Chains A and B, each alone.
Chain A
Amino acid sequence: MSDRSASGRASSRWVLGLLPVFLLAGMVALFLRYDPTEPFRAAFPPVEELTVDRVTFPGPGMLRVHVVNGGPQPVTIAQVMVDEAYWQFEIDRDPTLPRLQRATLDVPYPWVEGEPHVIRLVTSTGLTFDHEVAVATESPRPNARYLGTFGLLGLYAGVIPVLLGLLWYPFLSRIDRKWVHFYLSLTVGLLVFLAVDAFEHTLEASALVAEGFASVGLIVVGVMGAILGLRAISGIGRTRGGGNPPSGLTVSYLIALGIGLHNLGEGLAIGAAYSLGEIALGSFLVIGFALHNTTEGLAIVAPVAREKPSLKHLALLGAIAGLPTIAGAWVGGFSYSPLAATFFLALGTGAIVQVVVEVGRLIQRSWPEGLFTPLNAVGMLLGLLIMYGTALMVVA
């Protein structure tokens, strides 16, 4: 009896909870049925928006255009120009793309290795959407050779530097506590720089995302998702540890995870640049990245300087932070999407922000003088300067 009334109360709760949703749906239906904006919609041409995600070169005499309709209305692709010449093409679907629809166009154009090309899509209303390829080069196919090459690139730029950074552990474990905190502060400086850098890259990638995908919203989801995710993980660690603040090792793992997410985005960029032939210009750049990323290893081991982590833990930390570079390079090299890149870069940004918070707390907990002692402040500033200096090397 009481059970039944309880279930009755539960179902009426559901009705109350869903009522506004139903009313909203009704209003939307009414609006669509008797659209009050109708009189404003004169015979204007539709607002069209086409975005070329990327252009690949599968082989000689053929280029492939990956396009998405990021606008509010359907768009019909009528013709294609390459370098100011109409060229025949094949599209993999109906040429009228509904909102957010993707399509692939094959254009049998005799492109020239190493030279720029401009692709222009002409819609049925005569509007044009351009995409410039700075350097045409045959696109890599996922075979053993390219997987190996990209793997090596990720190894050089991400994994080895992080492992080298970890080798500071013996040094850190032998110095005075005051200086450990100095290096932890330096880590904070490094990470703050990295967070800003990552955010800048996020915004740059998002500028290339088709308008309809609301990339700013995606950035918020990515950044906050990483922060909340890492907080939840550290919360689980705390509950398991009987409510104690996270150990240095836990913080190290969080940092490794955050840096790993960041390096995934970096790997995407490396892979995509390689597939565009830019890497030929830049073995120098890989060295720059390597120097830059070695400091990340320092950031990972600094929290465990006073603990005695096993070699297994250190190796695992290095793997978590470094290996995503390889995965990113693979994905970026073969199928780069500005949308995915924006999301992963945002994720990396949020992760690093959360890691900064965790390291700051670690210092504050274990150091009575607090976070911002003169020595720590110098450490943070030095961290920022080191990152700035190594960033200049990437400029090459």
Chain B
Amino acid sequence: MGPQRLNRRDWLKLGAAGVAGVSGATLLDLAARGGARGALASVGLLPAAAGHEAPRSAGAPSAHAQEESAGVIGETGPPNGFDPGAFLTDFDYGRVATRADGRTVRRWEIVAVDREIEVAPGVWYPAWTYNGQVPGPTLRCTQGDIVQVEFVNAGSHPHTIHFHGAHPPEMDGVVPLVQPGERFTYEFEAMPFGLHLYHCHTLPLKRHIHKGLYGAFIIDPPRGRAPAREMVMVMNGFDTNFDGDNEVYAVNTAAFYHHQHPIRVGAGDLCRVYLINITEFDPINSFHLHASMFRLFRTGTRLENPELTDTIMMCQGERHVLEFELMYPGMHMFHAHQSEFAELGWMGFFEAVPGLAASEGAPVHEGYGERA
């Protein structure tokens, strides 16, 4: 819309609401570029606007003022069904038994329930959950273990649990559909080691996934991995107004949670992140670490020859194991490198603390042999 096209009627409209029939694409594009830049600068992601843009900017609030103004107001509370901080380092090894042939059997019960969850402070979402939480519990076992998952559907729609990894097709969680009130036990041998995923595979698939039916499934290598501070991060999003586009992005559901509550790790300690992308609607998500580089083990299925990078792009359903040390003490930001996702909730901080005791911050996992 150029000035020459502005007629009397348009003028009145402008006056009436401050709305103009500006081409939507141009407007969103401009808005996203203009807005994102300012906000990112405000939280230290990007340098402040370049010189040639400065004259167009309407004044420059102090860096401090901006720093405090980005993000949400309030905090996501405990009624969320789980504590996002606790979820980060909570690995569920199941009930362990030894079979007559000497093999380890791990048994879990997972119940699908409908539940409202708080995805950003004060914003509630009518989710479908595994065990009342989104993401579902992080199931962890060792290659060769016998996995038994007793699935109970206490929700209002038919659901399943589809595991990534190798197993017989009848244990794949596509059929049978588990109707509300019914149950089904999935049983298979855990293999191969790596970072896997589980989610509902009932049609319509998109809705069953974005409503919250997913979780992390870790199969440890037979000899384990090196001791490290371990964390699980499930990159997800929520379409709160059901328009086919996410309004909230996060790792582990709660927008800006680790922005408000930085993850404490020891400076120089080995850190390991089990990173999964289960974002719906957007084909890709990404992870970017500030002020350090990480070693990338794709799908966690190799123990050697990692790639060294600080940004990784992941398709829906893709997952990787990341290892890094934060050499410099202080705040290290991490976030999606899609600025939009970052500013809609998917950003946080690691706080590298010199000499942090192993018992403090994100817990240290001693590797194989530590567990029963």
Interface positions of A (Cβ within 8 A of B): 45, 53-55, 57, 59-61, 76, 78-79, 81-89, 95, 107-118, 122-128, 131-136, 138, 200-201, 204-205, 208, 268-273, 276, 278, 281-282, 285, 288, 332, 336, 338, 341, 391, 394-396
User: Does B19 touch A at the CB level, under 8 Å?
Assistant: yes
A118–B123 Cα distance when bound, in Å, is: 20
Q: Is the CB of B238 within 8 A of A271?
A: no
CB distance from B72 to the nearest CB of A (A): 5
Q: Is the CB of A133 within 8 A of B18?
A: yes
**Residues of B contacting A45 in the complex (Cβ-Cβ under 8 angstroms):** 126
A59–B4 Cα distance when bound, in Å, is: 29
**Residues of B contacting A271 in the complex (Cβ-Cβ under 8 angstroms):** 15
- By beta carbon, the residue of chain B nearest A333 is B15
- By beta carbon, the residue of chain B nearest A90 is B73
State how many residues of chain B have any CB contact under 8 Å with chain A.
Answer: 61
A208–B65 Cα distance when bound, in Å, is: 34
Q: Is the CB of B70 within 8 A of A134?
A: no
Q: Residue B42 contacts which of A110, A272, A281 (CB distance < 8 angstroms)?
A: A110
User: Does B369 touch A at the CB level, under 8 Å?
Assistant: no
User: Does B372 touch A at the CB level, under 8 Å?
Assistant: no
CB distance from A209 to the nearest CB of B (A): 9
**Residues of B contacting A53 in the complex (Cβ-Cβ under 8 angstroms):** 17
- By beta carbon, the residue of chain B nearest A55 is B18
Q: Is the CB of B3 within 8 A of A115?
A: no
CB distance from A362 to the nearest CB of B (A): 29
CB distance from A390 to the nearest CB of B (A): 10
**Residues of B contacting A95 in the complex (Cβ-Cβ under 8 angstroms):** 122
A selection of 13 A-B contacts at a CB cut-off of 8 Å is: A61-B61, A78-B123, A79-B122, A84-B35, A88-B69, A111-B58, A123-B123, A126-B119, A132-B22, A201-B9, A269-B15, A273-B15, A395-B8
Q: Which of B105-139 contact A (CB under 8 A)?
A: 119-126
Can you list the 5 inter-chain pairs with the closest CB atoms, starting with the nearest? A60-B59, A126-B240, A83-B35, A272-B15, A85-B343
A340–B269 Cα distance when bound, in Å, is: 64
A81–B341 Cα distance when bound, in Å, is: 12
A131–B7 Cα distance when bound, in Å, is: 22
A38–B34 Cα distance when bound, in Å, is: 48
Interface centre among A81, A116, A201 (most CB of B within 10 A): A116
**Residues of A contacting B17 in the complex (Cβ-Cβ under 8 angstroms):** 53-54, 131, 208, 338
The verdict on A82 contacting B35 (CB below 8 Å), with A134-B20, A336-B16, A338-B16 known, is yes
Q: Is the CB of A84 within 8 A of B31?
A: yes
CB distance from A146 to the nearest CB of B (A): 16
Interface centre among B35, B42, B344 (most CB of A within 10 A): B35
**Residues of B contacting A76 in the complex (Cβ-Cβ under 8 angstroms):** 122
Interface positions of B (Cβ within 8 A of A): 3-4, 6-9, 11-20, 22, 27-28, 30-32, 34-36, 38-39, 42, 56-61, 65-66, 68-73, 119-126, 238, 240-241, 243, 247, 255-256, 340, 343-345
CB distance from B336 to the nearest CB of A (A): 13
CB distance from B127 to the nearest CB of A (A): 11
**Residues of A contacting B255 in the complex (Cβ-Cβ under 8 angstroms):** 86
The verdict on A87 contacting B123 (CB below 8 Å), with A116-B30, A208-B16 known, is no
- By beta carbon, the residue of chain A nearest B345 is A86
Per DSSP, are chain B's interface residues mostly helix, strand or loop, or mixed?
Answer: mixed
Q: Residue A88 contacts which of B7, B59, B72 (CB distance < 8 angstroms)?
A: B72
A63–B15 Cα distance when bound, in Å, is: 18
- By beta carbon, the residue of chain B nearest A128 is B241
A83–B34 Cα distance when bound, in Å, is: 8
A-B contact count (CB 8 A): 216
CB distance from B51 to the nearest CB of A (A): 15
A208–B13 Cα distance when bound, in Å, is: 9
The verdict on A83 contacting B36 (CB below 8 Å), with A272-B16, A282-B11 known, is yes
Q: Residue A273 contacts which of B11, B38, B39, B122 (CB distance < 8 angstroms)?
A: B11
Q: Is the CB of A204 within 8 A of B12?
A: yes
A59–B65 Cα distance when bound, in Å, is: 14
- By beta carbon, the residue of chain B nearest A107 is B69
Q: Is the CB of B65 within 8 A of A61?
A: yes
CB distance from A86 to the nearest CB of B (A): 5
Q: Is the CB of A134 within 8 A of B14?
A: yes
CB distance from B355 to the nearest CB of A (A): 34
A248–B15 Cα distance when bound, in Å, is: 37
**Residues of A contacting B9 in the complex (Cβ-Cβ under 8 angstroms):** 200-201, 204
Known contacts A126-B247, A272-B14; 9 additional CB pairs below 8 A are A54-B18, A78-B122, A83-B35, A86-B255, A110-B60, A116-B30, A118-B31, A205-B16, A269-B16
A265–B31 Cα distance when bound, in Å, is: 32
Q: Is the CB of A88 within 8 A of B16?
A: no
Q: Is the CB of B58 within 8 A of A136?
A: yes
A204–B20 Cα distance when bound, in Å, is: 13
CB distance from A147 to the nearest CB of B (A): 18
Interface centre among A95, A126, A134, A394 (most CB of B within 10 A): A126
A92–B70 Cα distance when bound, in Å, is: 19
**Residues of B contacting A109 in the complex (Cβ-Cβ under 8 angstroms):** 35, 38, 69
**Residues of B contacting A132 in the complex (Cβ-Cβ under 8 angstroms):** 18-20, 22, 27
**Residues of B contacting A269 in the complex (Cβ-Cβ under 8 angstroms):** 11-12, 15-16
CB distance from B58 to the nearest CB of A (A): 4
Q: Is the CB of B8 within 8 A of A87?
A: no
Q: Residue A83 contacts which of B31, B56, B119 (CB distance < 8 angstroms)?
A: B31
A122–B16 Cα distance when bound, in Å, is: 23
Q: Is the CB of A276 within 8 A of B61?
A: no
CB distance from A262 to the nearest CB of B (A): 13
A10–B120 Cα distance when bound, in Å, is: 64
- By beta carbon, the residue of chain A nearest B27 is A116
**Residues of A contacting B119 in the complex (Cβ-Cβ under 8 angstroms):** 126
CB distance from B60 to the nearest CB of A (A): 7
**Residues of A contacting B57 in the complex (Cβ-Cβ under 8 angstroms):** 110, 112-113
CB distance from B260 to the nearest CB of A (A): 12
Interface centre among B15, B20, B121 (most CB of A within 10 A): B15
Q: Is the CB of B73 within 8 A of A332?
A: no
Q: Is the CB of A84 within 8 A of B256?
A: no
**Residues of B contacting A78 in the complex (Cβ-Cβ under 8 angstroms):** 120-123
